[in-house]
A and B are shown apart, each in its own frame.
Chain A
Amino acid sequence: MIKDFFLRGLGAGAVAGLLAGLFGFLVGEPFIDQAIAIEEAAAGAGHSHADELVSRGGQAFGLFLATTLYGLVIGGLFALAYAFVKGRFGPANEQTLAVTLAAGGYLAIVLVPFLKYPGNPPAVGDPETIGQRTVLYVVMLVIGLLALGAGAVIHRRFGWVAAVPAFLVIVGVAYAVLPAIQEVPQEFPAVLLWNFRVSSLGMQAVLWGVLGSVFALLSARRPVRV
């Protein structure tokens, strides 16, 4: 039953989101705090965190809320994608398929857009261009998914030797064609930017890694009859 997959995906996604939130809280929050200190020192730049609707403590709690909701969404979509690709694409073994699909999702939904339009800490980014940056980010994410789908189709017929180059060409052309965005202030600390971005990728890796693993574990414990 597809419902079993779906509930399994939501459950695995919630666990993945909570653990990603924990990772973000322990690893990422200090960098956000440092960036906010820089933002507030540069008076008047961007939006101010001083007169807050939500306190910094509230935002730390909000981190868990955001990652858990995000995990639920990704888990649900993951489950439906899994139900579709099962028996059509990828490894025949269901657990291997779950982990492979999670790796594919991380690649297409996180890495592909991130390498072109990386996440930024507070104090980086011009509020004027948020609309444009959001559109470009979503376009890059969709291209990542299309490239992954194309790769899966080509892999089934011609194997890795054709699938990997096809994926890379699609993503590479998009990287070359779409406009670059450079909004990091000259004086923003490079180390802080690097640390923040690595922690961001790390948090997403926790989310997708846990999602794939938990989903695979649940598949092993109780296979779904279709």
Chain B
Amino acid sequence: MSQISSSPSIPVRNLLPWSAAVPVLLIVAYLVTMDSAGLLASSGDFLHELMHDGRHLLGVPCH
């Protein structure tokens, strides 16, 4: 095995702080792919319509 193959695992306690990034990323994902229910209805209509084609092609339910 070459050196790059010996990959030690990262302790969970080092990973935990980074789990805070997950909800932030998921909110962005929600705004891009979902929001058909219109959580941002008033301000979100523009973004919703703007990313319409992307949502269809990403394969998520659109309308």
Q: A119 to B36, Cβ gap below 8 A?
A: no
Q: A47 → chain B, closest Cβ, in Å?
A: 6
Q: B51 to A125, Cβ gap below 8 A?
A: no
Query: Which single residue of chain B is at the shortest CB-CB distance from A223?
Result: B4
Q: Using a CB-CB cutoff of 8 Å, which residues 195-226 of chain A contact chain B?
A: 196, 199-201, 203-204, 219-220, 223, 226
A44 CB–B CB distance under 8 Å: no
Q: What are the residues of chain B within 8 A of A40 when measuring CB–CB? A: none
Say what secondary structure dominates the interface of chain B: helix
A59 CB–B CB distance under 8 Å: yes
What number of B residues sit within 8 Å (CB to CB) of A? 42
How does the 8 Å CB contact mask read for B50-62 relative to A, with 1 for contact and 0 for none?
Answer: 1111111111111
Per the bound structure, the CA–CA distance linking A219 and B35 in Å amounts to 35
Q: A13 → chain B, closest Cβ, in Å?
A: 10
A118 CB–B CB distance under 8 Å: yes
Q: Using a CB-CB cutoff of 8 Å, which residues 8-62 of chain B contact chain A?
A: 8-10, 12, 14-15, 18-19, 21-22, 25-26, 28-29, 31-34, 36-37, 45-46, 49-62
Q: A64-B54, A73-B26, A110-B59 are in contact. List 15 more A-B contacts (CB 8 A).
A: A24-B54, A29-B53, A58-B50, A61-B50, A66-B51, A69-B28, A69-B51, A72-B28, A73-B32, A83-B18, A87-B7, A92-B7, A131-B37, A200-B59, A226-B10
